[in-house]
Structure 1
Amino acid sequence: MTYKFQARLNSEWVLEKPSGAVFALGEILRLLAAIDAMGHIAGACRSCGISYRHAWGLLRHAEKEFGMALLETSRRQGSKLTDFARHLLWANRRMDARLTPMLESMASELQEELESLYPESRPRLRLHASHGFAVEGLMQMANDQEMSPVELRYRTAFEALASLNRGECDLAGFQVPAGEFEEAILGHYSPWLDDERHCLIYLAQRDTGMFVQPGNPKQIHTVADLVKPGVRFVNRQVGSSTRLLVGLMLERLGIDTRRIQGYDSSEFTHMAIAAHIASGMADAGIGVETAAWRCGLDFIPLAKERYFFAVQRDSLDAPLMRQLLGLLDSEAYRHYVSQLVGYDAADIGKVLGLQQAFGAMAGRAARV
């Protein structure tokens, strides 16, 4: 007996009053997000599938609970969020960006546990990778189709490659910037990559750069500008490839990271970095262009990164791996990636040796 299901874990923001009563914010936050996107309540109601009367009831109740107005309305300009409501919405977006990878990873573990209780549990591929938009889309498509499920653990590139070598995963995601920092980054990965044992599945190229406030009011154009007075930076977590790249760029310029306000602060995803800046808590951060675009931020390109899955060579002909390669090569997935701002969908699913991917640089990095 087998049972097909998809475990999901969702976050919900609630406020507990001194009396112990709980005010759940999920529905009002969805409505505020829809009003922000549509510019009027009627469209927001259609988007949320609720009545106009119910929407106003939610708004009035929330305004009473907070003691603050949430909407500004006029006949000419429609409805827009107050500063309080916008900050509330961005706080929720930051929370979602931080928690989503963790919850998805935990849901994958939970599903594995539950399926193992059935006598005929399905085999699965184990993917360890940092959170990214192409990986996110791949997971959605893999688990929505009639194919064996993919078990996901969100890890830094270093953790993922180490897991592959310990036999704890089947695919390990990592990215390498093209250009002057390629060899240095590859050198950091070299302890876990062996051209005789491993090969690479190419996923995509993506644009990585700085996120800044719309209009770039602090006039931030290069990483050297991060030391300007009053510039607040938000970094990726310790151990992430993006943080390593930032460190190498600053080192090349001879800039001490202690001079950068917020360098020791951290977020775990590109979207969390973008939400942090969009909410006004920082002036600059680094991530992929898709996140900046989704949060309405300006983007300053710094590097083009190639993203790969490292796999054991002897696993390529396994049925589950062939299924995944077929999905990578599908028109649906190529279309999905091509629609991501800052992503290049050419050569998705191409299998390469380390020497093919990096040339002589692979050999030099292995000797570092």
Structure 2
Amino acid sequence: MPHIHLSYQWSPDGADRTADTSPLHHPLMNLLQAVRSSGSIAMAAKALGLSYRHVWGELKRWEGVLGQDLIVWEKGQPARLTELANKLLWAERQAQARLAPQISTLQAELEKTFALAFDSKSQVLALYASHDDALVQLREHAASQGLHLDIRFCGSVDAIRALNEGRCTVAGFHAPVRPEANSFMARTLAPLMQTGRHKLISFAVRSQGLMVRPGNPLQLAGWEDLLRPGLRFVNRCLGTGTRLLLDDWLHSSGTAASCLAGYTQEESSHAAVAAAIAAGQADTGLGIEAAARAQDLDFVPLLTERYWLVCLRDALPSTPVQQLMALLASPAWQAPLGNLAGYQVPPDIGQVQSLRQSLPWW
């Protein structure tokens, strides 16, 4: 049996679609139906507005693809469909009957989405970022204002690298409010940004801490509790800002990673860490409070950090970046951000900040 591959086509705006019997089409089925209705390759070609040579060639090509005859090729006799061809038409009718509502919904969604590409008033901004619940909400809010954030979540390190390589316009990362210049995080992120070339945009203040089961049954209270015998920890992936926070503490305390049971058990997001704890697969893990509350977990705050957006200086005057900054500074966005568990609205939100003053690593 051949594999099914879906595709779509565009037609000019205002084109007549009344002749379409269904939003789902396949060129072979159109050929077979035309042959069945006319009883002739020549008449089928005429009905479809195609040449005889094209129709004949396409039918022969499909017979080669499928490895079976589709037409009973008898000289001097009307063209007839083979049993396989009749079954294919029957199968398509069945699929049309069963899937027409879903296909129509998909077609409408595609048309709605692609309409944005042809709307001169809408803006699209590519953003690679460390996973953040506030960014998810911002994407929905921005879309209602005509700014469409094409967000790809990855680690903080990968996000800034994507910015430097031209794969996005804005990157998102997080760091402690008072970062130490000689910290592990500083030594990792500092080489990726340059004063004068990169511009910081203030986004949010949030809490990082331990996500624990309801009631905190193990009474975890700080970093040192992660070293308790038998404690099951779940980590974040290499290159994420949260992983850098953990590695920074391990390094500053002189603790080997092997002392932390579960250090090599990794999840790709705060939500995934919270889900693992809620499912009983781990006792605790580092993450943000919003992710913990979403899984009905308790939260033990360990530190406050800034979540920053960063872009290249040349991109700062562009319309999408300016629109983003205006949205961040608006009360319509700051209200939902302030209501998100574990988040605070910084007084400089949406404003450009100095790398040297905000992250004194250079």
TM-score normalised by L of structure 1? 0.63
Matched, 1:259 2:248: no
Mapped to 2, the partners of 1:198 and 1:235 lie a distance apart of 30
Q: Structure 1 residues 338, 148: closer, same or farther in 2, change over 3 A?
A: closer
Q: Deviation per CA, 1:182-203, whole angstroms, max 9, x where unpaired? A: 6522331122211111110010
Number of residues of Structure 1 aligned to a counterpart in Structure 2: 253
The residue aligned with 1:294 is 294
Mapped to 2, the partners of 1:275 and 1:240 lie a distance apart of 18
Q: What is the identity, as a one-letter code, of the residue corresponding to 2:344? A: D
Mapped to 2, the partners of 1:321 and 1:339 lie a distance apart of 25
The within-5 A match list for 1:127-206 is 127-145=127-145, 147-179=146-178, 181=180, 183-184=182-183, 185-206=185-206
Q: Structure 1 residues 335, 148: closer, same or farther in 2, change over 3 A?
A: closer
Q: Deviation per CA, 1:118-167, whole angstroms, max 9, x where unpaired? A: 7778652111102211111111111233x242211112111111111111
What's the secondary structure of 1:302's corresponding residue? strand
Mapped to 1, the partners of 2:304 and 2:355 lie a distance apart of 19
Q: Deviation per CA, 1:333-363, whole angstroms, max 9, x where unpaired? A: 10011001111112221211212323xx232
Q: Structure 1 residues 119, 136: closer, same or farther in 2, change over 3 A?
A: closer
Q: What is the identity, as a one-letter code, of the residue corresponding to 1:142? A: A
Q: Structure 1 residues 310, 293: closer, same or farther in 2, change over 3 A?
A: same
The within-5 A match list for 1:98-137 is 115=114, 124-137=124-137
What's the secondary structure of 1:321's corresponding residue? helix
Mapped to 2, the partners of 1:119 and 1:298 lie a distance apart of 46
- C-alpha contact 2:147 2:324 (8 A) present in aligned 1: no
Between stretches 280-289 and 123-132, larger displacement belongs to 123-132
Mapped to 2, the partners of 1:2 and 1:312 lie a distance apart of 38
Q: What is the identity, as a one-letter code, of the residue corresponding to 1:258? A: S
- C-alpha contact 1:203 1:308 (8 A) present in aligned 2: yes
Q: What is the identity, as a one-letter code, of the residue corresponding to 1:165? A: N
Give 1:314 deviation, angstroms. Answer: 2.1
The residue aligned with 1:352 is 353
Mapped to 2, the partners of 1:186 and 1:278 lie a distance apart of 32
The residue aligned with 1:52 is none
What's the secondary structure of 2:325's corresponding residue? helix
Mapped to 2, the partners of 1:311 and 1:342 lie a distance apart of 25
The residue aligned with 1:68 is none
Give 1:255 deviation, angstroms. Answer: 1.9
Report which of the two structures shows the higher radius of gyration computed on alpha carbons. Answer: 2
- C-alpha contact 1:355 1:362 (8 A) present in aligned 2: yes
What's the secondary structure of 2:361's corresponding residue? helix
Mapped to 1, the partners of 2:255 and 2:320 lie a distance apart of 47
Mapped to 1, the partners of 2:136 and 2:216 lie a distance apart of 29
- C-alpha contact 1:208 1:302 (8 A) present in aligned 2: yes
Q: What is the identity, as a one-letter code, of the residue corresponding to 2:272? A: A
Mapped to 2, the partners of 1:265 and 1:348 lie a distance apart of 35
Q: Structure 1 residues 2, 169: closer, same or farther in 2, change over 3 A?
A: farther
What's the secondary structure of 1:286's corresponding residue? strand
The within-5 A match list for 1:238-257 is 238-257=238-257
Give 1:273 deviation, angstroms. Answer: 1.1
- The alignment-based identity, stated in percent, is 37
The residue aligned with 2:268 is 268
Give 1:299 deviation, angstroms. Answer: 1.6
Give 1:297 deviation, angstroms. Answer: 2.0
The residue aligned with 1:366 is none
- C-alpha contact 2:179 2:186 (8 A) present in aligned 1: no
- C-alpha contact 1:2 1:120 (8 A) present in aligned 2: no
Gaps of 5+ in 1: 4-109, 364-368
Between stretches 212-221 and 135-144, larger displacement belongs to 212-221
TM-score normalised by L of structure 2? 0.64
